[in-house]
Copies of this chain bind each other. A is one copy, B any other.
Amino acid sequence: MADARQYFNLPSPFAMKRGGTLHGARLAYETWGTLDAAHDNAVLILTGLSPDAHAARNAGNQADGWWEAIVGPGKAIDTRRWFVICPNSLGSCKGSTGPASTNPATGEPYRLDFPELSLEDLGDAAFALARALGVERLAALVGCSMGGMAALGGLAHHPGFTRAHVSVCTAPRAQPFAIAIRSLQREAIRLDPNWNEGHYDDAHYPETGMNIARKLGVITYRSALEWRGRFGRIRLDPDERDAEPFGAEFQIESYLNAHARRFTRSFDPNCYLYLSRASDWFDLADYGSAPDPATAVRNALAKMKLERALVIGVETDILFPLQQQQQLAEDLRATGTATTFVGLDSPQGHDAFLVDTGRFGAAIGQFMAAL
């Protein structure tokens, strides 16, 4: 497959929020469109936990990207008008430096010697990339899911770095239900003997832990409503069934199996642990200087100097409940940001932003066109 990835060398050393430093770290990224003469048409997209930098097809890679329906010429994020940048997250394993990368100090993979990662580091690194590409201020910063938290983290560190913000299915701080889910996903990996405190290889790989973590992810990324319509109680054909005791009998089980199979070997377990924990740690209230978290979040948003914002979520999201996006929109409005809130009744749960692209595209397209 063609590869459109470019690489940006982060300032070295790169200081991380919780105290560590990276030397010789880099971000993989892709771009679409052209930066205009005034350097004010840049749109930066921060991804969810697992996607790579390939948000959409481009000259270097004609394969569909993870947000193909949203990013492109004439689409919601119109690449004829905007210069779009999408990095693979710092700490991930799709070309950017993370726990699976080689530690220049040892010549071995970092594994758990990778410094503690926070979502602010993801935001800082992505903003440094945008600056290196000639962008002093973004036209729009788009953050999806984990990337939405990284966007808020980056803006907390760099107030005023974007004029507009598109916040997709995310939250200013994780609630205990989401922490419980992610903690259990991490535990499934950690308890797999093959994880071996991060020292696995292809032959001794925490496949079981990753399998359970991914299935739990899929369960919480989608929704009961969608699955009722899509799978009901449909059984597998006898020849598709698992011969093992208590093996899969229902279509929903084979759907989960297929999702897990695609993921377990394609995402590095240590990277998963680092990014997952960073999502639990993130709390915008840390930037608000108020004892009450709700007030602190609002204070933190006020400092970001956002002119306009679009906040979107879906009713069926159990990981980042719509209520959190609604509150975020209210808080943004209260701090003087012209804010559009869109609450969709998409049945697909948290993943709706990847699936119900018709409705997400309409909302994002309308917002972007008015910028």
Contacts and interface: CB of A to CB of B under 8 A. Distances in A.
A227 B180 contact: yes
Q: How many copies of this kind of chain does the complex include?
A: 2
A81 B110 CA distance: 69
A33 B249 CA distance: 43
A211 interface: yes
Given A190-B245, A219-B177, A233-B174, A280 B212 contact: no
A142 interface: no
A45 B232 CA distance: 29
Interface in A104-137: 112
B224 A212 contact: no
A228 to B, nearest CB: 5
Contacts of A277: 246
A186 interface: yes
Interface residues of A, number: 51
A35 interface: no
B112 A245 contact: yes
B224 A179 contact: no
Interface on chain A toward B: helix, strand, loop, or mixed SS? helix
Nearest to A234: B176
Interface centre among A228, A283, A293 (most CB of B within 10 A): A228
Interface in A231-285: 231-233, 244-246, 248-253, 256, 273, 277, 280, 283
Contacts of A253: 179-180, 183
A352 to B, nearest CB: 16
B173 A187 contact: no
B184 A212 contact: yes
Nearest to A193: B193
A35 to B, nearest CB: 39
Closest 3 CB pairs of A and B: A177-B224, A176-B252, A176-B227
